[in-house]
Amino acid sequence: MAMTITNQEGQTQRADIILANTLTDYSRAALSKLFTKGFVTKESEKIKAGAKIRPDESFRVELEELEKPAEVLDLPIIYEDDNVIVIDKPVGVISHARGKYWNEASVASFVRDKVKDIDGERAGIVHRLDRATSGVMICAKNAETLSMLQKQFSQRKTKKIYFAVVEGTPEPSHAVIEVPLGRNPNKPQTFRADKSGKISSSEYEVIKHNDEYALLRLTPKTGRTHQLRVHLQYIKHPILGDELYGDSKAERLFLHAQSLEITLPGGDRRVFESKVPAIFDQKVS
Reply yes or no on whether 88 is catalytic. no
Which one from 130, 242, 247, 268 is the annotated catalytic residue? 130
CB 27 within 8 A of CB 40: no
> CA 46, CA 61: separation in Å to the nearest integer?
10
CA within 13 Å, CB half, 154: 7
Q: Read out DSSP for 89-121?
A: EPTT-BSS-SSTT----BHHHHHGGG--S--ST
Residue 43 makes CB contacts below 8 A (sequence gap 6+) with none
> CA 116, CA 160: separation in Å to the nearest integer?
27
Give the Cβ contact number of residue 29 at 10 Å.
12
Backbone angles phi, psi at 3, to 5 degrees: -140, 140
Give the Cβ contact number of residue 243 at 10 Å.
12
Cis peptide leading into 69, omega within 30 of 0? Answer: no
- State the catalytic residues: 130
